[in-house]
């Protein structure tokens, strides 16, 4: 089927894998590199869609697993798709639910997160247990809803059907994210399964796109998801597999510590086709992540951390992160950051926001989220412009030296 030009590269940064470009979707362009705002439940927590747009947000990522449970993908389809449902007129991504295979499976109630090198609880390694809410088979994944315990079965085909009903512009293949504590044998098994699922996803996706074409509806796009944990051989094998598949772009699964990006992400991006976009799933919790991801070949990335940290009182600033709940801000009448152009910094003081958090007022979380989201979006916008005008390394150096201590900044130079 014929498609318009989906991705074009504009500029490349010599000596790195970084580039700027543009992704074309039925709901508009995404200038890359771009931060895709995390809107898991068809909402960016504490922010209205109009606010996200005013902050410079150009795309939102939703989660197919969560929306399948509530309100149901059929409800969203009846509303005219995710854009109509949430009053968002710009591009959208949908994640498949692959992360939930991990979080409701091996990681469930074990204190394991996607970056763990060890467990936080009593378990010494990642094992299956009766308490988990997801069971993986080659055919698909059996889930028990974390809401009411009801049973459901997610296959690659069903994931595509759900995502097409949701109607995001860009979908992710259904994949299996493994625990960092799983042994290499299981990681390889999960990777091979992810590859087979990707082939099934692509077949069903193309069938559904043919239906859209017949109805004169916009075509939707599909990204294959590279897996392989932190193992170089497996990551390269997965990247090589997807390089031979005609996907519209590629997601990179797994959540990485900043120091892992120059290795794991580079292994993948050096192999994936240069002329297709690469999305790093769940990246953006720390400012250094933004620079490293771009340098090693990432075009788009998403993370819920900006608003999550904001709701807990952790605020980004160009002089480092601050905890607005700290008593030293009680009589601090400066903005969160006097270099920030967001609505919060233009109109409210640290003292007022500190007061809102101490008194548990919802407005505090709203103002903090406005600031953090704008901070991250603006930083990525500046990264993109600095690549275009060849000032990237100077911009990176100035930013990191202000945000981090000299010793920590040096780790990311």
What tens digit of pLDDT does each residue of 77-123 get? 999 999 999 999 999 999 998 777 766 655 444 444 555 554 444 44
Per-residue pLDDT tens digits for 14-35: 999 999 999 999 999 999 999 9
Helix (H, G, I), strand (E, B) or coil at 241: helix
Question: Cα separation of 10 and 84, whole Å?
Answer: 31
| Residue 355 structure tokens | 């007061």
Per-residue pLDDT tens digits for 153-198: 999 999 999 999 999 999 999 999 887 778 999 999 999 999 999 9
Question: Which of 249, 283, 303 finishes a domain?
Answer: 303
* Residue 280, in any domain of the structure: yes
- Shared domain for 234 and 379, answered yes or no, is no
- Shared domain for 59 and 197, answered yes or no, is yes
- Shared domain for 67 and 204, answered yes or no, is yes
Per the listing, tokens 């101490």 go with 358
The one-character DSSP state at 179 is P
- Shared domain for 403 and 258, answered yes or no, is no
Question: Cα separation of 200 and 97, whole Å?
Answer: 16
Query: Partners of 152 in the beta sheet?
Result: 143
Question: Which of 303, 323, 350 finishes a domain?
Answer: 303
Query: Partners of 58 in the beta sheet?
Result: none
Length reported for the chain: 413
Catalytic residue (choose from 95, 175, 299, 337): 95
* Residue 252, in any domain of the structure: yes
Buried b (16+ CB within 10 A) or exposed e, 272-285: bbeebbbbbbbbbb
Give the domain CATH number at 48.
3.20.20.105
- Shared domain for 297 and 328, answered yes or no, is no
- Residue 116's pLDDT is 53
Question: Cα separation of 84 and 87, whole Å?
Answer: 5
- Residue 113's pLDDT is 55
- Shared domain for 240 and 294, answered yes or no, is yes
- Shared domain for 345 and 266, answered yes or no, is no
341 is catalytic: no
When divided into structural domains, the chain yields a total of 2
> Which domain does 243 fall in, by range?
25-97+159-303
- Shared domain for 278 and 338, answered yes or no, is no
Which of 3-17, 215-229, 281-295, 399-413 is predicted most confidently? 215-229
Question: Which of 303, 333, 364 finishes a domain?
Answer: 303
Taken in order 161, 166, 169, 173, the sign of the CA dihedral is negative
Catalytic residue (choose from 289, 302, 332, 341): 302
* Residue 180, in any domain of the structure: yes
Per the listing, tokens 């075509």 go with 219
Binned at pLDDT 50, 70 and 90, residue 150 comes out as: confident
- Shared domain for 174 and 276, answered yes or no, is yes
Per-residue pLDDT tens digits for 352-377: 999 999 999 999 999 999 999 999 99
Residue 279 pLDDT > 50: yes
Would you say 327 and 8 are in contact if contact means Cβ atoms under 8 Å apart? no
Would you say 235 and 262 are in contact if contact means Cβ atoms under 8 Å apart? no
- Shared domain for 62 and 211, answered yes or no, is yes
Would you say 84 and 76 are in contact if contact means Cβ atoms under 8 Å apart? no
* Residue 132, in any domain of the structure: no
381 is catalytic: no
């Amino acid at each position: 089927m014929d498609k318009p030009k989906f991705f074009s590269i504009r500029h490349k940064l010599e000596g790195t894998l970084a580039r700027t470009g543009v992704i074309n979707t039925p709901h508009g362009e995404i200038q890359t590199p771009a931060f895709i705002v995390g809107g898991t439940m068809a909402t960016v927590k504490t922010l209205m869609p109009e606010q996200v747009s005013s902050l410079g947000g150009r795309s939102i990522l939703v989660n197919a697993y969560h929306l399948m449970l509530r309100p149901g993908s059929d409800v969203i389809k009846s509303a005219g798709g995710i854009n109509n449902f949430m009053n968002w007129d710009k591009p959208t991504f949908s994640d498949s639910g692959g992360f939930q295979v991990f979080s409701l499976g091996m990681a469930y109630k074990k204190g394991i997160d996607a970056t763990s090198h060890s467990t936080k609880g009593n378990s010494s390694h990642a094992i299956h247990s009766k308490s988990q809410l997801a069971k993986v088979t080659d055919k698909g994944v059996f889930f028990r809803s974390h809401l009411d315990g009801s049973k459901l079965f997610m296959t690659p085909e069903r994931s595509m059907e759900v995502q097409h009903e949701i109607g995001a512009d860009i979908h992710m293949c259904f994949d299996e994210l493994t625990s960092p504590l799983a042994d290499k044998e299981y990681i390889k098994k999960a990777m091979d399964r992810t590859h087979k699922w990707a082939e099934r996803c692509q077949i069903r996706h193309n069938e559904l796109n043919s239906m859209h074409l017949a109805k004169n509806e916009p075509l939707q796009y599909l990204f294959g998801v590279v897996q392989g944990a932190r193992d170089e051989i497996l990551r390269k094998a997965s990247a090589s597999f997807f390089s031979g598949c005609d996907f519209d772009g590629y997601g990179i699964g797994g959540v990485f510590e900043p120091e892992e990006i120059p290795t794991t992400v580079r292994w993948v991006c050096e192999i994936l086709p240069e002329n297709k976009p690469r999305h790093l799933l769940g990246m953006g919790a720390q400012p250094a992540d933004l620079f490293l991801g771009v340098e090693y070949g990432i075009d788009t990335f998403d993370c819920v951390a900006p608003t999550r940290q904001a709701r807990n009182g952790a605020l980004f600033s160009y002089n480092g992160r601050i905890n607005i709940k700290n008593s030293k801000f009680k009589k601090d009448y400066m903005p969160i950051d006097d270099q920030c152009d967001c609505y919060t910094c233009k109109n409210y003081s640290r003292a007022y926001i500190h007061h809102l958090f101490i008194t548990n007022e919802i407005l505090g979380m709203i103002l903090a989220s406005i600031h953090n989201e704008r901070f991250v979006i603006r930083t990525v916008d500046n990264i993109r412009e600095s690549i275009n005008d060849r000032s990237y390394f100077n911009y990176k150096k100035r930013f990191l030296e202000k945000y981090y201590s000299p010793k920590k900044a040096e780790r990311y130079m």
